[in-house]
Structure 1
């Protein structure tokens, strides 16, 4: 996921944890190829095998909060040999370094006096534990002091001084405000996020199928209730009532759009701040994955069923105008639901607010229609 933004510096915390040796080696080979393209990759790793260790460019060994070695990985064995720790033949250098740091290597025994260590081991369990704890701390302190007096430390210190001086010179210069940068353009982001939205819809077809099924059922019910409305006074009242019911149905059927923002809000915030895609790309992709299958198609199906059953004007232009109006009503209700859900974290509260808004709109609409009826 982090590689999508093409970061110049990549931090990884034990990327091979839980992997077998072959897969871990494949992961490190991929990271090696990325480093050759100009990326800086810094990671911690647990018990690497020799084929993985050979891929390291720089090696840092830490113990008890102290640096015991920092420098080229290929020079680490030579450095430890120069301070009196000889790696055994056919031993993995990574395992050798850990043994030295922990104080349980034969190299440590040789440097501290092999015979004295054997005598302490033979004395008993308690004495052995105390001796090992003392050796552990003393070895770490000795390795740290030897590193401070080594050429590797002096080279690192000189580089850090140059960096510090350059930062001091840049302190007086005006700095540009940090902005979120993107590895790809808007249309590339829109394509991939839209593809993800459509895949999520296809992998969870229950919602879309239920939406279409309910739309067909309600359209048949409305058409059956107001079937064959006449053009007399009672028929006109039936037509007005059918239009009111159709509008109400389109509004409340759009309440399902509330969960679109809420369920993915944490994921969106993380990916946006990481520079994966723009807000506009995510928003339009969300509309593509929701408006077309979940709002447009049900509106068209509802129009095709109830329009002809109720007996509205049998003209193609009137029918398509009715269909367009119905779809736009659904879009407006969906937009209101998205606007309310964008500021909420709980679906229940957002549902309550959007329902209250729709109820006030319905009451005002009904009063308006009654007022027109009384005026006539």
Structure 2
């Protein structure tokens, strides 16, 4: 049999010796019987309680095809960019009405039994995450899908999805919470409301002990700026977040990425132990080590969306050997098959891509008749593949000399389908009758949410206050606000105490500076914190932890004490150092105004704006805050013009100073003696903006 070229080193070697080495390498890999798994535990890690037999599930996915929209504006290829689309409009071309789609998964079929660990392996872009997301019911709305995913023969519903653990590749955790706090708040929201608080605490303690997190349970998660737990511990906390509900199915997206080999080995060993308790564990793995590979029960190798191998993990090397690709001595099996899937293995007469397409064709032909994949036992033979594929596997001399692609009816790569697909054609291919849905009826007396609505608001409010303690109550914030407040107070020292027009102008300056600084400071903080909180909300909503309205209400309620705590010190310093109106009512009105104002654009720097565009000021938050500030400080007071002189006690010098209309003299945007309608406008804007944000979040999370 022909060797596999220079890249494969030793060649095929003696067949008997090679088969013996494969058996030795794969010894102990088969552990599908959960009840008989007697493997050694990781130090410090204990087994969780098993899943009851009546709650164990078999996960199957049949003929899964996924189509992703392309970025082009027109044409089947979808390769035209934005400017190409604009150019076509100028030239009179009519762009396509329907978006083009690119197929990313091609008829993938497989299953995973309770007690098994199924690994999705393949190079980047092979479709691992797309398949895992589809199995977990988290495919993006823009995707088009074919095929079905069944849990014991039933489709997954929203209610049932809350009992399926899904660990994302990115560890989305609140950096300022400790390990215990992270899991405890999750337990309060996710565990059944019939459990007492003490039982939930015991559940958290059990998960922490099971994952070996006792030593770091009181350590914050941490991030780039604050040191916390290690990367391996972060990943185990993410797993523990899902283990709280004791899921029957646990899905993980590249849980070993970024971890060293030993830490990754311990994590997968923990997953192996969790599977032995009657759970289905399906995980994507980027590049497993040889020891880690031995812990896998089943393997699905993906290459550009196609299944290159599916079956027992310990039989993969034998599969490729019988198809003409012998693994070099001393090479990790995972590395070798990843090279095959990446088209990095070639022969003297076949390119790497031709080898890859030949193996895909063999796999698809075999799986069409053997949906359970490669199980071992009997040798492969010609009847399973057809004469062409089998001849190519045995010798490949005929194909190698011609250097031509395999026939279309053999490899079925569907190149045309990857360039553009009509969404109507995809939807027409979907099954017309939906099978029964897993979790559609639910247990009698069960609840959709683990906590009641009021409990959700209370728990989320308490968590929001704790998660923002480092951002809003940090030493840096205290120092910044106090330093700037003292400096501003010195610049405008007691300018507000004299009722002449010169100091009135100075007072307007400090009022606007106070408004500008606090609004801008809070706005920038929101810009940096919103993306992270939005991702966290999407993750938790997908797990069914709480209602969106409860989250938004708790987050809004936590804004007031957390946002106003430190800025209030800034306002107090400026207010008394600048000598603003010494009245309790005026002080508290000014403090309340600061909490309502936000920064957009205002009418402070430009006077006499034309009427045809002047109405735009009513769309500005800061305009109403500015007007409210002027009324608080100047309302009901008399100011004097002393001919440009900054005289103290101007009211006692009638010969030099005379009363003036402050609005006319300083061209203020409003009369400071009128009713405080601007405060109502601020409240209205506050409510309107938050309602609009809630509606936008509701639309974005409609499918969660």
TM-score, scaled to structure 2: 0.35
Number of the residue aligned with 1:23: 263
CA distance in 2, matches of 1:40, 1:331: 55
Equivalent residue number for residue 211 of structure 1: 481
Higher helix content, 1 or 2: 1
Match for residue 346 of structure 1?
A: none
Alpha-carbon separation, structure 1, partners of 2:571 and 2:555? 24
User: 2:367 maps to which residue?
Assistant: 147
| Structure 2 residue 540 is the aligned partner of structure 1 residue 270 | no
Aligned pair in 2 of structure 1 residues 221, 166: CA closer, same or farther (>3 Å)?
Answer: same
Counterpart-to-counterpart distance in 1, 2:473 and 2:633: 39
1:324-343 to 2 correspondences below 5 Å? 325-337=586-598
Distance in 2 (CA, whole Å) between partners of 1:86 and 1:354 is 70
2:623 to 342, 349, 356: 356
Deviations 1:38-96 (A, max 9, x none): 77554333442222112223311234543243344356567778989887887644346
Deviations 1:204-234, CA, capped at 9 Å, x for gaps = 71x542322333344456554466x7xxxx7
Partner of 2:297: 57
Pairing 1:188-267 to 2, within 5 Å after superposition:
188-201=459-472, 205=476, 207-219=477-489, 224-225=494-495, 251-256=515-520, 257-267=522-532
- Three-state SS of the structure 1 residue aligned to 2:468 is helix
Question: Unaligned 5+ residue runs, structure 1?
Answer: 106-116, 122-127, 156-163, 313-317, 342-348
Corresponding residue to 2:570 among 282, 295, 298: 298
Secondary structure class of the residue paired with 2:372: helix
Counterpart secondary structure, 2:597: helix
Matched residues, number = 314
More strand by share: 2
> Following the alignment from structure 1 to structure 2, what is the Cα–Cα distance between the partners of residues 362 and 311?
11
Q: Residue 147 and residue 369 in structure 1: after superposition, are their counterparts in 2 closer, same or farther (change >3 A)?
A: same
The match for 1:6 among 226, 242, 266 is 242
CA contact 2:496–2:507 (8 Å) conserved in 1 = no
State the TM-score, normalized to the length of structure 1: 0.58
Cα deviation per residue 1:327-373 (whole Å; 9 max; x = unaligned)? 442233322328x79xxxxxxx99x9344333444566789647999
**Larger Cα-atom Rg:** 1
By how many angstroms is 1:169 displaced?
4.1
Contact 1:197 1:286 in 2 (8 A): no
Asked if 1:168 is matched to 2:435, the reply is yes
1:145 deviation in Å? 1.8
Pair 1:148–1:330, CA change in 2 (3 A):
same
Q: Any unmatched runs of 5+ in structure 2?
A: 1-170, 173-237, 376-430, 443-447, 602-615, 640-658, 662-704
